[in-house]
Amino acid sequence: MPASGRHATQRLVRQRSCLGTVAGVDLTARFAQLMAGPDAALPLDEVALLIAAHVRPELNVAAELARIDQLAAGVSNPTLDGLRRYLFTELGFAGNRGDYYDPDNSCLDQVVRRRVGIPITLSLLMLEVGRRRGVPLAGVSMPGHFLVRDKVDPDVFVDPFARGAVLDAGGCEARFREVHGADAAFDPAFLDPVPRKAIVARMLANFDTVAAARGDRPMLEWVARLRAVLPGAGAEHQRRLAAVLAASYRFDEAAEVLERLAAEPGDHGDDAEAARRLRARLN
């Protein structure tokens, strides 16, 4: 990530919402608000752009949504085949095989601009362009490789990372073994459609992996904050956030996270004790 991007992630992140309101909307609060709503109504494009705006705080989410609208308007044949040809043949979207772990591959705005990404962001773009044009698709969170499934013919799958290649169940299994090895156990349930919120959770898990590999503490923090507000996020996500904050010597903030966790129903004595130890480090 460029130095300017790293510095930007350390600033207070405030930005315009997709509704075009004035600057000042808290990105994490807006993210949590959307994630608290019904899964079927979750705007994956806006949520993905809110995540991307944590990387680039100057990002105009409303303008980026309009850019995707314009992209979708170019689909002249609103069918699965028409969508595939438009995105992957005419526009040339493809997987970034040369620099897979570049954070830009996980940022929807950059995927749209550069026309390269990783399986999940390319799939998300296909889902959202398809939604705009009435092409019914679902996300498939196969371990190690994200795919898109046709809702009209559920035996048809698309691999956006491979320039929109069409696969059947056997082809999906072959993709799985390419990633995990010839002897890896394949479960047909890997090809089931997943909720939209699960797609977001997987995107954040990818960012967490990238941030840890790069030693990017600001990214680790905002990713941990977003994962902690996911619906159904367990105590482990709160503890992860506390650990990230403590690693940056922000012991008071880390203690506050654990104290809130300790106040919840259940056995959280260890969390209360950990919070006390963090408070003691402030003296």
d(CA 152, CA 59) in angstroms, rounded, equals 35
Q: Which amino acid is at 181?
A: G
Residue with tokens 């996270």: 257
Give the CA angle between residues 72, 77, 81 to the nearest 5°: 100
SS3 12: coil
HSE-CB of 11 using CA atoms within 13 angstroms: 13
Please report which helix (H) or strand (E) contains residue 167, including its range. Answer: strand 165-167
Using pLDDT thresholds of 50, 70 and 90, give the confidence band for residue 1. Answer: very low
Stated pTM of the model: 0.86
User: Is the alpha carbon torsion for 58, 120, 80, 45 positive or negative?
Assistant: negative
Strand partners, 14: 26
Residue with tokens 């929807």: 108
Q: What is the pLDDT of residues 215-249, one digit of tens each?
A: 999 999 999 999 999 998 889 999 999 999 999 99
Across 179-202, average pLDDT: 97
d(CA 107, CA 91) in angstroms, rounded, equals 18
The alpha carbons of the chain give a radius of gyration, in whole angstroms, of 20
Q: What is the pLDDT of residues 14-44, one digit of tens each?
A: 232 333 333 456 899 999 999 999 999 999 9
Could you tell me how far CA 147 lies from the centroid of its own chain? Answer: 14
pLDDT at 266 over 80: no
Angular region, 139: left φ>0, alpha ψ -120 to 50, beta rest: beta
